Chains A and B, each alone.
Chain A
Amino acid sequence: MDFESVRLADVTRRYGRRRAVSHISLTLRSGDIVGLLGPNGAGKSTLLSMLATLTTPSSGTIVYGEATRRQDGAAVRRRIGVLAHELFLYSELSARQNLTFFAELYGLEASQVVTAALTTADLSDRADDAVSSFSRGMRQRLALERALLHTPRLLLLDEPFTGLDDRSVATVSDRLRRLARSGAIVVLATHDLDVVDGLVTRLALVREGRLLADEAAPVGIRARYRELVGTERTDVS
């Protein structure tokens, strides 16, 4: 099962009386790098969680190609990769053990993909060290490789540049561009407007759960962000 697009139709998510996401309609296409931007509490993480199939919309539908989570849950999840703010790594295990576990969980031949992933993450020399001994940047690189082990079609990233130095930011950005060129749909939630400027191809701006803009990424994202969100405290860097 594979898909070329993901379509959100009038998606709403309520927590009690509060609407975290309100009537969002959006289509994500193969090759897109979508910058999901907005101030804290805008609904970005809830939206990512719904796209990842971890949260069910209160109303509206999310369709992956022709499939839905309810009908083809496992098949849809097989094509989704997630790098969340929490890194989904077992700190007691080594980098190799973490990657091997997740590779096998996705039914991959671990011996082939793990070595390549460790090399890409520049962690070959620390492969057998416990993740608890890694810096935030090293964990972030490892978590990204974990999310990419099964070459997902839909890649959901929540603050993927946290803890990375300039060189790693450039490496990860290049990686995301290559993934998008190969047909992946990349959705990137971040507050770091300078880093995403020139990286994202589309801008989806949310505030208070509502979609304010869905447009081709302009040159100078910060200016466009201020124009749409306003100049009040926006919690961006």
Chain B
Amino acid sequence: MFFKTALLVLRKDLAIEKKSFEIVSTTLFFAVGCVLVFAFAFVKEGQAPIDVAAAILWVVLLFAGTLALGRTFERERYGETLRALLLAPAGRPALYVGKLLGILALLALTEIVLVPLVALLFNAPLFERPWLLAALLGSGTLGFSAVGTLFAAMLMRSRTRDVMLPILLYPITIPVIIAGVRGTAALLASPVDEPTAVMWLSILVTFDIVFVTLSLWTFEPLMTE
């Protein structure tokens, strides 16, 4: 029942996105726009400073993710549909997992566009260790989204939610972003510094375990007024 509920919520979010194409289009447009601006600023004669591609990739993901989180929960606020979800007999952590999976799917789509674009514009060898890069991005996105989904849901009824979300989210997820940047930078080194990348990946996985566990544990009490 837990996973059935989570998948139902995910399927519903994807069905809405398929019809409106609102969050995908705004997130992608924003992400691509940011990368282009950074490329114009940093790339000189076809070369960018070492490691800058890693920082830009993660900073853009952070901002695009915040945008996606806000829009996803704004949709639940309209019509108070989150209250309808909370009224369902399903376990509330299952609702959290469903929303989290929806955010992850949106950010995965953004990354599919973003990573080749950054690799191309910054002449960055991001695909030297594709599985390691995918693991870094996947675990980093999960850590960021786990906390972001909890805070976005919690702030949904707050009038200052747009201001409060980054204020609460960024200090907590900065370690995730730092680990992501350092892990990705290790992949861009020549030769590739695989042990360092794996070390940062293991830190990200630890963050994920802590953040997901805490979020599952606190979602129900935080969502009950």
- List chain A positions with a Cβ less than 8 A from chain B: 49, 52-56, 74-75, 77-78, 80, 82, 84, 86-93, 97, 101-102, 104-107, 130, 146
Contacts and interface: CB of A to CB of B under 8 A. Distances in A.
Nearest to B95: A105
A77 B16 CA distance: 25
Contacts of B1: 107
Contact of B80 (A78, A80, A88, A102): A88
A74 B91 CA distance: 7
B46 interface: no
B154 interface: no
B178 to A, nearest CB: 37
A89 B81 contact: yes
Interface string B83-114: 11111111100000000000000000000000
A105 B90 contact: yes
Given A84-B83, A101-B8, A130 B90 contact: no
A77 B89 contact: yes
A90 B89 contact: no
A162 B19 CA distance: 28
B86 to A, nearest CB: 6
A102 B84 contact: yes
B80 A86 contact: yes
Contacts of A90: 12, 16, 75, 79, 81
Nearest to A150: B89
Nearest to A46: B225
Contact of B86 (A54, A56, A91, A101): A54
A105 B8 contact: yes
A91 B79 contact: yes
Contacts of B50: none
Contact of A104 (B8, B15, B80, B83): B8
Contacts of B79: 86-91
Contacts of B78: 91
Nearest to B12: A101
Nearest to B82: A88
Q: Would you call the interface of chain B mostly helix, strand, loop, or mixed?
A: helix
A54 B20 CA distance: 29
Given A82-B83, A82-B84, A97-B15, 6 more contacts: A54-B224, A74-B91, A84-B83, A89-B79, A90-B12, A106-B89
Interface string B57-93: 0000000000000000001001111011111111100
A90 B76 CA distance: 8
Nearest to A104: B8
A81 to B, nearest CB: 8
A15 to B, nearest CB: 9
Given A91-B78, A91-B79, A53 B15 contact: no
A156 to B, nearest CB: 10
A123 to B, nearest CB: 17
A88 B84 contact: yes
Given A97-B15, A107-B1, A88 B83 contact: yes
B224 A56 contact: yes
A188 B24 CA distance: 41
A92 B19 contact: yes
Contacts of A49: 225
B5 interface: yes
A28 to B, nearest CB: 18
B11 to A, nearest CB: 8
8 contacts: A54-B83, A55-B225, A77-B88, A82-B83, A84-B83, A86-B79, A93-B19, A105-B88
Contacts of A91: 78-79
B5 A105 contact: yes
Given A78-B89, A89-B81, A54 B15 contact: no
B8 A82 contact: no
From A56, A101, A107, name the one whose CB has the most chain B CB atoms within 10 angstroms: A101
Nearest to A89: B79
A92 B16 contact: yes
A146 B88 CA distance: 12
B225 A84 contact: no
Given A56-B224, A90-B12, A106 B86 contact: no
A84 B33 CA distance: 41
A80 B8 contact: no
